[in-house]
Structure 1
Amino acid sequence: MEEKFLQIDGHKIRYLESGNSVQTLVLVHGLGASAERWNNVIPIFSKNFKVIVPDLIGFGYSDKPLLDYTPEFFSDFLHKFFIESAINDPFVVGSSLGGQISAEYASTRPSNVKKLVLVSPAGIMKQSTPALDAYIMAALYPNEQNAKNAFEMMEGSGNAVHSDIVSGFIERMRLPNAKLAFMSTILGLKNSDPLTEKLQKISAPTLVIWGSDDPVIPITYADSFVSSVEGCRFFRMDGCGHTPYVQDPKTFSSRVMDFLNEN
């Protein structure tokens, strides 16, 4: 993987790039995460695609300006990122907040996405869950105990979480303005309209993947996405929580590639 940077509206944006295919696959991380969240699947995808993984503005090691981080703002950011990095007609995979951003983008610019994969996407659920509350607590008070507790709850399996995930999260949340960007995003999500009507405008072939044991955004919300996007497909990843691409990267990447490679 190669670490790269570009400028969007005067802000430095970091991203990872891997692979040299003519087909581009963009991976969009979730709330409080960074490009590293996709580390388990980037090497697999890069065998068949040029993989681009941005740190969303406000997160990871990208700049964190004092702005209103709304879903519309992130969708506009994604559009500008594609322009600045010369990405045309990409495949897009978005997780959680990244799923909501990707769906928002695909609904407003339907001709700009070749295929869309939404992984446990946000955008319909409006109330919180204990796992989400624990994650917010870890973001506001980023220490080892809070972060370890949050990630173990999010995984949903009771298994130990790799120490690199915990330490990386703590490091990023201690960066200047990281907490402000995080909370602005939470408020932006809370005050946004449900995605339901926008989902009906998505024309790109779409696959929804959800962990059966997701405690952050329960799988019961999957039906709202599948029924709203015309021709949407659905795959349940049994035994997985909120990030199945971390827990079972082989199954996840295999199912995604099958979908992306279909004519």
Structure 2
Amino acid sequence: MVSVVRNSRLKLSQGQIFWREAGQGEAVVLIHGECRNGSQWSDFFETLSRKYHCFAPDLMGFGDSERPKVPYSIQWECEILEELFENLRLKKIYLVGDSLGAWVAARYALNHPERVVGLVLRSPLGLDTENTPSYFWEKCLTSPLPIVPWVLRLITPIAALFGQGKRIARAFEHRKLLRRSPGSCRLLFRRRGGQMRSEYLNYQLPQLQMPTLILSMADDSAVQLSQVQTYGQLLQQSETKSVETETEAIAVINDWLQSQK
């Protein structure tokens, strides 16, 4: 039987946080990726909430959570999650994270290994590798000084003559998507390189001893595949799997959670 999804809000020290939850049993917390929110996990809820108490928060600055105008960091997001978990009295949890959410999940597990009994990282970010993304294009598109958008508008008529009109249109659509997610902009696209590098997890990851499942998806980029491979090398208690579809990912994660009992 599929559990009813409940929407909740709670005022925390950094602002109001929103989350979805469903089911009963052991707690499974699912953390969304960049430019997403907790609704990303709706299909996962249908399966996992039959056996687990599932939570899908919108990270602060994302979705229906508050968007405070303060410096954002991965550590800051983890502190907010810890405050939420304390309020919800979640003593032991499984953490599932996607992309940016996997970075947050891994950082949280390093901060609170006593609370995290298992970790699932799908297409994770958060490591310094040869293919670490610079986000140069995203930084240009979301800069407070809209120089690149101005140039794109200027060259649109010429680009159309050379069959590149659709490419320009896609750039503007991508910009709209990014600007709708101020949390992504503040965590990834508007921070200095040194600030980002200070939060990479390469040197701390070997400290994690809880069971960890690392997933790569069929449409992962070379950057994401490099991150998956490096996570697998650094985490001693991990296994890595490749999946083709979202449906397969749900099944693999569900089976892995069952195997931890």
User: 3-state DSSP class of the match of 1:111?
Assistant: coil
Residue 216 to residue 95, structure 1, CA distance change in 2 (3 Å): farther
Tell me the residue number matched to 2:241.
Answer: 235
Give the length in aligned residue pairs.
227
Unaligned runs of 5+ in 2: 147-168
Query: Is structure 2 residue 13 aligned with structure 1 residue 9?
Result: yes
Quick check: 2:18–2:58 contact (8 Å CA) kept in 1? yes
Q: Give identity over the alignment, percent.
A: 21
Matched letter for residue 115 of structure 2 = N
Q: Where in structure 2 are the equivalents of 1:114-263 lying within 5 Å?
A: 114-125=117-128, 127-128=132-133, 145-146=170-171, 173-174=179-180, 178-179=181-182, 181-186=183-188, 187=191, 190-215=196-221, 217-238=223-244, 248-262=245-259, 263=261
User: 3-state DSSP class of the match of 1:117?
Assistant: strand
Tell me the residue number matched to 2:154.
Answer: none
Normalised TM-score (structure 1)? 0.76
Partners of 2:141 and 2:241 in 1: CA distance:
30
Tell me the residue number matched to 1:24.
Answer: 27
The Cα offsets for residues 116-169 of structure 1, whole Å up to 9 and x where unpaired, read as: 00011111146427xx6666677679xx9558668xxxxxxxxxxxxxxx9xx5
- Quote how far apart the aligned CAs of 1:249 are: 2.8
Quick check: 2:93–2:117 contact (8 Å CA) kept in 1? yes
Quick check: 1:124–1:194 contact (8 Å CA) kept in 2? yes
Quick check: 1:32–1:139 contact (8 Å CA) kept in 2? no
Residue 34 to residue 229, structure 1, CA distance change in 2 (3 Å): same
- Quote how far apart the aligned CAs of 1:88 are: 1.9
- Quote how far apart the aligned CAs of 1:231 are: 1.9
Matched letter for residue 107 of structure 1 = L
User: 3-state DSSP class of the match of 2:255?
Assistant: helix
Residue 138 to residue 17, structure 1, CA distance change in 2 (3 Å): farther
Tell me the residue number matched to 1:245.
Answer: none
Superposed CA RMSD: 2.7
User: 3-state DSSP class of the match of 2:33?
Assistant: coil
Quick check: 1:15–1:53 contact (8 Å CA) kept in 2? yes
Partners of 1:260 and 1:71 in 2: CA distance:
25
Matched letter for residue 19 of structure 2 = Y
Residue 258 to residue 71, structure 1, CA distance change in 2 (3 Å): same
* Larger CA Rg, structure 1 vs 2: 2
Normalised TM-score (structure 2)? 0.77
Partners of 1:206 and 1:147 in 2: CA distance:
38
Residue 18 to residue 198, structure 1, CA distance change in 2 (3 Å): same
Residue 118 to residue 147, structure 1, CA distance change in 2 (3 Å): farther
Partners of 1:226 and 1:185 in 2: CA distance:
24
User: 3-state DSSP class of the match of 1:69?
Assistant: coil
